[in-house]
């Protein structure tokens, strides 16, 4: 199946069970807003593999209420990468559990693999048991990023009310390639509910600008295992 130039999401998977998709080709201009390739929400047992996605937003976005999601062999870019979120914008959002993203390539995107939650979230929810593994990055601005201060319109009062979405048991493994920014790893967690048990192993991300790549951590209980480039942050 081929999807070209939609006005909004190409494909939305909402309240589905046992959904499988493969051999999909998705295209939209790099500057087209909200043209997520595949958006998944309130679904379980979802498998997506062997897709080529170039778009103006997330190649794949995994929203609230998802369990048992497997994403593999995705060629993503340009776009905003593969994201869990955004989460925590609305009251009573459901948890996200057991998501695996693996064996994929992400090129010339704003983000690589990302978890994003809103500041000032109105209620509590959680993200747990997440794995990003065997992913090749090529000229990606933020190859690995957890962002719990997400607020694109800058209208959130996050300094007073931080994100109430808890993030735990997240594994980044065998992620290699090049970063378009010097900060290749960002773990910017919620000061209200710090991230727990974040593991990075076999990470090799070189900054295309020639200087050593770096990592930034805030409110993150993280473990790093060699080989590791950039060097671990505290």
**Catalytic positions, written as ranges:** 80
Residue 163, judged by CB atoms within 10 A of its CB (0-12, 13-18, 19+), counts as buried
Contact status, residue 141 vs residue 100, Cβ threshold 8 Å? no
- How would you class 103 by CB atoms within 10 Å of its CB: exposed for 0-12, middle for 13-18, buried for 19 or more? middle
Q: Among 94, 47, 41, 95, which residue's Cα sits nearest to residue 68? A: 47
Distance CA 230, CA 214 (A): 5
Only one residue has tokens 């340009």, namely 78
Residue in the block written with tokens 């976005």: 61
214 within 8 A of 220, measured Cβ to Cβ:
no
Q: Which residue has the tokens 């794995």?
A: 131
8 A C-beta contact, residue 136 and residue 105:
yes
Smallest CA-to-CA distance from 57 within 29, 21, 20 is with: 29
């Amino acid at each position: 199946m081929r999807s070209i130039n939609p006005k909004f999401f190409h494909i939305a998977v909402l309240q589905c069970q046992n959904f499988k998709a493969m051999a999909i080709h998705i295209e939209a201009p790099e500057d087209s807003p909200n043209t997520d390739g595949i958006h998944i929400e309130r679904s379980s047992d979802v498998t997506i593999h062997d897709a080529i996605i170039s778009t103006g937003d997330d190649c794949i976005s995994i929203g609230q209420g998802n369990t048992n999601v497997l994403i593999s062999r995705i060629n993503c870019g340009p776009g905003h990468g593969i994201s869990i979120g955004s989460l925590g914008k609305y009251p009573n959002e459901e948890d996200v559990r057991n998501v695996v993203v693996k064996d994929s390539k992400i090129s010339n995107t704003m983000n690589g693999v990302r978890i994003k939650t809103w500041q000032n979230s109105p209620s509590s929810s959680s993200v747990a048991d997440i794995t990003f593994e065997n992913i090749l990055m090529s000229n990606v601005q933020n190859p690995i990023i957890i962002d719990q201060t997400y607020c694109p319109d800058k209208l959130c009062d996050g300094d007073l009310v931080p994100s109430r979405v808890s993030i735990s048991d997240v594994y980044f493994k065998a992620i290699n390639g090049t970063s378009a920014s010097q900060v290749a790893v960002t773990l910017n967690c919620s000061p209200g509910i710090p991230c727990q048990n974040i593991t990075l192993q076999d990470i090799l991300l070189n900054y295309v600008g020639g200087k050593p790549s770096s990592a930034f951590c805030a409110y993150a209980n993280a473990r790093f295992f060699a080989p590791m480039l950039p060097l671990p942050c505290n």
